[in-house]
Structure 1
Amino acid sequence: MRDDKLLTRIAGLLRQAENTDNPHEAETFMQAAQRLATASSIDLAVARSHDPTARARVTPISRQIAIGEAGKRGLKTYVQLFVAIARANDVTVDVAGNSTFVLAYGFDGDIDTCEALYTSLIVQMVAASDAYLRSGAYKSEESARVVTRGTGWRARRVVERKQLSPITARLNFQSAFAERIGARLAQAREEARAQALADDQAADPAEDARRSSSTAAIALRDKELEVSDFYRTESTARGTWRPSNASAGYSEGARRAGDRAGRRAKIGADREFGGARGALEG
């Protein structure tokens, strides 16, 4: 677990993002929360690199996280959102075949961050897609998918277009929302990493001009290797999980709407860090 004071600071930033109606302020608070989470992760990695006892005591873990009930439509887009968050927070994910849960591999504090962000963002994603469907905007859109017509030597692949259905509109909307959130968090993470590495170099300049890696850079690399080694040892996953379902069809209009919603999403917490965990109900 991360320090309670740190989690309180992050939760405060997330609540500020949630409570403002100004999208620029929400973006600022969101990025600040992700940068703070990243900076904390870096600090812990550096501290562990200097303390063999701590390194032996604090090791990667795996945690099962519920996504939804079997048979619920759209679970792949829920998983896609969690995976996008995990990538920005040094967590590797395995996905259940029916997308009802994920297994997260990483350090405890990083997984806590992922769950906190997911808990807030999944509610926003579903609410935004519900509002899009209620607006009826999807009814003027089309979906496209590649299908095979004929058999044998007569078989040919063609693009089939038809009126966009509500479920296909929702899947496209939520997939684009998840992609945009992943890009926003990744940007904040890279900014935090760049600042941490710059600060580390400034505080401890290399005496050897050939020195190319800072203490923080080495610690981060060691952390990545530790999580990677743990994952290879513990994971029993087979195959590769893919976020999209080509059979559902592709809609540029629904994806544009989902992307816009992802840009506006407030990375805020309807539940604070340490709150109840579990699948989204409904």
Structure 2
Amino acid sequence: MSVGHGTIEGVTSTATTVERAFRAALYDDTDTGLDTGASLLAADSSADAELARRGEEFVATAWQRGWQPADVVRLVRRELAEAHVSLAAALIRVQAGRDRARGRRWNAQLAELPEAPARDADRFSRATTALELYRLLLRLPALEPLQDEPRRAAGPQASRMLARIRALLAKAEATGYPEEAEALSAKAQELMARHSVDEALLAAEAPAPDAPGACRIGVEPPYEQAKAVLLDAVAGANHCRAVWNEPLGFSTVVGFEADLETVELLYTSLLVQATHAMAGAEAAQRAGGRKRTKTFRQSFLAAYAHRVGDRLAAVAESQVSQDLLPVLATREIAVMDRMERMFPQTTTARLRGVSDAAGWTEGARAADRAQVRSRPRLE
């Protein structure tokens, strides 16, 4: 009597093959267990569909644990190889077709999934890749759940403002002149501050008050501590709060949707600009006879982060009049409340490796070159 892809009498079913492979490989961290599981799967081509289906289940379980597509891809890339990233992206795409609607930010992450390159691996290698990926997915810890969708969608005016901000930051990244890059970034922050105030006023007048949400932003090595400081500075200047998860390589930023979007834009752009400025400073150091050092780069980025944070905060404050302070204070309380509910226990981390005086000085200079000119306050 036939059952599924196999028989009860004498032939192993595909589900049994996958289960045997999982017992050998997923709950045993040894290479021997991995080889045993991969050999079982490689020998039974009829088990491929069941193996893929179980992979989709692991992906769906990751969402239940609070993970999102970008989080999974980031961790897989950090812990495994590109073949595993490609497989994870493929599983996420297939699972998304059966999943519920999860909102704009989720859809954007799906659209940014890496394409799967053509690979001509043998069955054993493909099975090994799948089992290694499933091992990782099986052990994902639970994360703080994020809100799927903002309460209020952005209108056309907000979209135009964000387009202007993106254009300014693109120019800042493209220019070869640090002073021009920082001036363009300052102008972008000015527009961000105006955008934030406009959104705050609209939300205060809406019949259903807006509520803060959260997003995760990758903070990748090297120099992840300094990068986390930079992200924290950008978040603070834009009415958000950031909590760094060092082991998993990301920070969770809590704030209102309009502010979260500007934090993502500005942090990404400033990382590019800081890298360019650091390369120029290192070239000058080498011309003076000094070798490249890790402490120089770490100190440079740390100083850059601190000084840029101060300048961004000054620009943001210059756009707020006294009568707007109660509205913004109410939103700040809401953000802090959301952060404390998501992260009831946090600690303060101290930067390590910030001991190079030349690196600190050059980083501060790179952040200070441009004059920050603000428009008149909003009334």
**Aligned twin of 2:222:** 73
- Please point out which of 264, 276, 280 is paired with 1:127: 276
**Aligned twin of 1:167:** 294
Is residue 2:239 matched to residue 1:90?
yes
Looking at both structures, which has the greater relative contact order when contacts are Cα pairs under 8 Å and sequence separation is at least 6? Answer: 1
**Aligned twin of 2:317:** 190
Show CA shifts across 1:185-243 (max 9, x none): 1111111114xx4xxxxxxxxxxxxxxxx2x222111111111111111224432233x
Name the structure where strand makes up a greater proportion of residues.
1
**Aligned twin of 1:259:** 364
**Aligned twin of 1:61:** 213
- Please point out which of 340, 347, 350 is paired with 1:232: 340
Give the Å deviation of 1:138.
9.5
Show CA shifts across 1:220-277 (max 9, x none): 11111111111111224432233x21xx35222221111112234899xxxxxxxxxx
Structure 1 portions without partners, runs of 5+:
142-163, 198-213, 268-282
Give the match's secondary structure for 1:90: coil
CA contact (8 A) 1:79 1:99 kept: no
Is residue 2:328 matched to residue 1:179?
no
CA contact (8 A) 2:173 2:269 kept: no
Residues 59/240 of structure 1: CA separation in 2 closer, same or farther (3 Å cut): same
Aligned residues: 217
In the TM superposition, 1:103-122 aligns within 5 A as: 103-122=252-271
> Which structure has the larger Rg over C-alpha atoms?
2
**Aligned twin of 1:209:** none
Residues 101/237 of structure 1: CA separation in 2 closer, same or farther (3 Å cut): farther
- Relative to the length of structure 2, the TM-score reads 0.51
Residues 232/33 of structure 1: CA separation in 2 closer, same or farther (3 Å cut): same
Show CA shifts across 1:90-117 (max 9, x none): 1111111337110111111111111101
Residues 96/139 of structure 1: CA separation in 2 closer, same or farther (3 Å cut): farther
Give the match's secondary structure for 2:320: helix
CA contact (8 A) 2:286 2:292 kept: no
**Aligned twin of 2:355:** 250
Give the Å deviation of 1:11.
2.0
Show CA shifts across 1:16-35 (max 9, x none): 44556676655543333212
CA contact (8 A) 1:76 1:99 kept: no
Give the match's secondary structure for 1:41: helix
- Relative to the length of structure 1, the TM-score reads 0.68
> What is the alpha-carbon root mean square deviation over aligned residues?
2.9
Amino acid at match of 1:78: K
**Aligned twin of 2:249:** 100
2 CA distance for matches of 1:99 and 1:261?
Answer: 30
CA contact (8 A) 2:182 2:367 kept: no
Residues 117/14 of structure 1: CA separation in 2 closer, same or farther (3 Å cut): same
Is residue 2:161 matched to residue 1:6?
yes
2 CA distance for matches of 1:183 and 1:190?
Answer: 11
**Aligned twin of 2:192:** 37
1 CA distance for matches of 2:305 and 2:354?
Answer: 17
2 CA distance for matches of 1:261 and 1:98?
Answer: 30
Structure 2 portions without partners, runs of 5+:
1-152, 373-379
